[in-house]
Structure 1
């Protein structure tokens, strides 16, 4: 990026006035920000003019009227070639001006000097990678839900995730008869273990002494006809 060269002072003439100190004028009537063109509001015509020079600053020569091109007479402003002295702390002035600009800004346009960005949530793991207890019904629902959303699986060919879900569903479907048989064999043993853990016949006998039961009823635990095997109804 090319460096901006300061405007050269082409004449040594001045308006023979005492040098204008920035500390004696309003802070909003000049601009001496580093990296920007230095400018000031002329104390005579109150128009913004450029400050020429690097070490010795002067207000650029200008006329009173801005309509010289329209035919008006060119009249030099008395504030031309006015010497200007920077006798302020530029950093402190800049900080104060930034604060004033920020306070004058509408509330909806303000923002903190430091931005805090909310971290994006991690993407959810695919259904095929979730490690949880999978039953035949949950595998079937996951497979059907994927078929409704996936375009490729709707044409008859499975995608990568669809193939995994289909394989899981078929595998659980083939293993379901063996699981039912295992549950059938372990159900009576599990009930006997629960009965012995709760006290068995001692609890039942103590409960029967509290009230009279109808004829044919052993107790409220058993009832007249309580099956000992799981009831399986074949469709």
Structure 2
């Protein structure tokens, strides 16, 4: 390949399973778009065709539309549906979580309101017993998006500080998957900031979960 004429495509969760790899190099012509890249990807991996309508695409860690240009040398991530500012803590980790770590990141004498949320793995989903969950993330982009959520909350409610830590890897029922803390001078803003973080986390942060049952498994967001 000539220098500057290729791009890197990253695959996650269901896309990774259907391609059998985590990253590949593709040749792109000058002026290539995301749609052009998707056509090349499906041409190489026909099993992805049914998944493409469910995908979002990030170019260099920013979500874009199918008409967006893709420069030679870009990093293009195929993002299946996800599971789900200011000073704070925004991390994706592969270890057990502690609620105290997010509390310590945002607390302070000026913050009279402090609200926390801990999301743990349930032992059943729609009547099916859960054996374990496996979380996967596009970690650099996920941490960037978590920080953006913090900045959005601070803009909506001045004085709000957020901290969010999400775990990846294998988790069993009862273990914490995410911990969130929101601090503000007053309790109302702290409650709103925490709720906002929970809802936004489900929308744009590239973290996926796969549920394993006694009778099967499923990527959350894609159905059986």
TM range (shorter): under 0.3
Q: Quick check: which one's helix share is greater?
A: 1
What TM-score, normalized to structure 1?
Answer: 0.21
What TM-score, normalized to structure 2?
Answer: 0.22
Q: Quick check: which one's strand share is greater?
A: 2
